[in-house]
A and B are shown apart, each in its own frame.
Chain A
Amino acid sequence: MQLYLPIADMPVNIFLILAMGAAVGFVSGMFGIGGGFLMTPLLIFIGITPAVAVASVASHIAASSFSGAISYWRRRAIDPALAAVLLTGGTLGTALGVWTFTQLRALGQLDLMIALSYVALLTTVGALMFWEGLRAMMRTRRGVVPPRRSHGWIHGLPLKMRFKRSKIYLSVIPVVIVGVIIGFIGAVMGIGGGFILVPIMIYLLRVPTSTVIGTSMVLTLVTMTFATLLHAVTNHLVDVVLALILMVGGVTGAQFGARAGQKIRGEQLRLLLGLLVLAVGIRFAIELVIRPDDLFTIRETGVTE
């Protein structure tokens, strides 16, 4: 069934979009991430302009992370204080990101920047996750208990604050900075950033795994809701019809994904996610390196009526 998207200005097959939403939702539910890093490339692949894809996926991630956050809240797996500190940084980062997005679009280098940042971010994060997952798996197989490392330099920073539910005592400076970075890349690349935020919180900030996913979802939820608003106000690129189809598919898929995810061990899950992230990154890299089918592209810069 064809459906005409009012902002993207093109007809799409409604079932294709629903299926894409469900598939990405499944993955996101399984790994506890937003799934934007998969959704945005998929939309670009079916012919939606990167700008509309990035802006519309923001609202889709807001929906899926809200449903996730609610269930984590019920299980008391969210640290409200930590979320609040992350959010002060996240909001700032998002505003900065949307502003950069607008500037790059005017320069005509938005597509390249999106592709480059995908390659850089996804290959690095993917490779790290994959490597870490592999090492963890080998350790459990050998039955070695991982050595408990001493507190790093991050824990020597001033402005310390006690986060009760996570049971950690930590400076707010690195937390705010992490918020800014996640908010920024989220707005520019159309990703929630959960897949980067979770490892950062675990390895750098030493947040216990019990609260890490729920708290990261709260940050994703707020930054993506804010990004939707800003994209709508400044660039007028959010396609509400596209977003709604994605959301419906996404939240449904996420439920089944979450159930599947509980059956897989933690380190295997990280290994799989690492592979997936790495694959998407490499896919973007190949596109940049091989000679494109067509060296020319056209972009409309303004319709006058």
Chain B
Amino acid sequence: MIARHHLAILVLVLGMVFAIPQANAERLIVSVSNHRVTVTPNYSGEELVLFGSVEKDASTPAARGNYDLVVTVSGPRADMVTRRKERKFGIWVNTDYRQFLQVPSYLALFANRPFADIASPEVERRQQLGLDNVLLTQRVGPDYADVVPNDVFRRAFVRLRSQRGLYREDTSAVTFLTPTLFRTGIPLPAEVPIGTYDVEIKLFSAGSLVTRTETAFEIVKVGFEQFVANTARQNGLVYGLVTAAMALMTGWMASIVFRKD
């Protein structure tokens, strides 16, 4: 009888362990206001909203309450080249360059307070908190590696992407509406790249990671834009012929409309 009771508890505990792989008892429930952003002819940027709540259960340590949250949004990955101009023979030409491999074309990091207050520098680095700690792989000679945050090419790369609104870091964007309910805006500039965007939400408490979850949204061209972009890529010849024919039609029509006699 007692043995069976113990067995039942064991099964229950095992079940709990397997259902929630992490030993921590919090769960994050999140949702993005729009999972499919469509780029239409008059698209000029948009702001998505991410809502979420921290679900506690019986096993949550009672003392835990001061949560910190970091949201990382990363757009489709692409290879990019950063070039530096130097003066040669009196003119400014591209000379040195660094290749960035499979880096996010859009990257946003949001938190409820400065990263330095959320976690120790060690955790910041490991969890890639902040633009200085996100992994941006470069090709360095035959190797692939990220370099120190103050490398000139890395700094220039982050700065240029930030100027276009494509890389951003905001440590006051996440707001807690109640101690467990939070929201943050995800601003998307007009020239935002098309593709799938991964959103990673990490919950911290007292300097260490408690739990994390992921969601995603996609930005797609629809209708005419989609059609034009696809045709240009897949049927270059047809596209070129249509464009050339259109050019000739426009020219011909103009000569009729403006005919003097």
Contacts and interface: CB of A to CB of B under 8 A. Distances in A.
Most buried by A among B43, B82, B258: B258
Interface size on A, as a range, is: 35 or more
A225 to B, nearest CB: 5
Contact of B251 (A3, A70, A238, A300): A70
B90 interface: yes
Contacts of A303: 76-78, 105, 193, 195
B191 A298 contact: no
B250 interface: yes
Interface string B89-120: 01111100101001001000000000000000
A297 B248 CA distance: 37
B51 interface: no
Interface residues of B, number: 65
Contacts of A65: 251
B241 A229 contact: yes
Given A295-B85, A299-B83, A67 B254 contact: yes
A235 to B, nearest CB: 9
A4 B247 contact: no
Interface string A78-120: 0000000000000000000000000000001101100010000
B94 A59 contact: no
Given A9-B191, A232-B237, A4 B42 contact: yes
Most buried by A among B78, B84, B92, B233: B92
Q: Does more than half of chain A's interface fall in helix, strand or loop, or is it mixed?
A: helix
A103 B68 CA distance: 50
Given A112-B93, A296-B153, A67 B228 contact: no
A6 B91 CA distance: 34
A231 B160 contact: no
Interface stretch (A127-135, A137-145, A189-197, A286-294): A286-294
B39 A238 contact: no
B55 to A, nearest CB: 34
Contacts of B99: 301
A184 B81 CA distance: 28
B25 to A, nearest CB: 38
Contacts of A62: 244, 247-248, 251
B83 A297 contact: yes
A288 B83 contact: no
A225 B247 contact: yes
Contacts of A305: 76, 195-196
B66 interface: no
B243 interface: yes
A163 interface: no
B247 A59 contact: yes
B255 A233 contact: no
B242 to A, nearest CB: 7
Contacts of B229: 6-7
A3 B42 contact: yes
Nearest to A59: B247
7 contacts: A67-B251, A251-B251, A289-B90, A296-B84, A298-B157, A303-B195, A305-B195
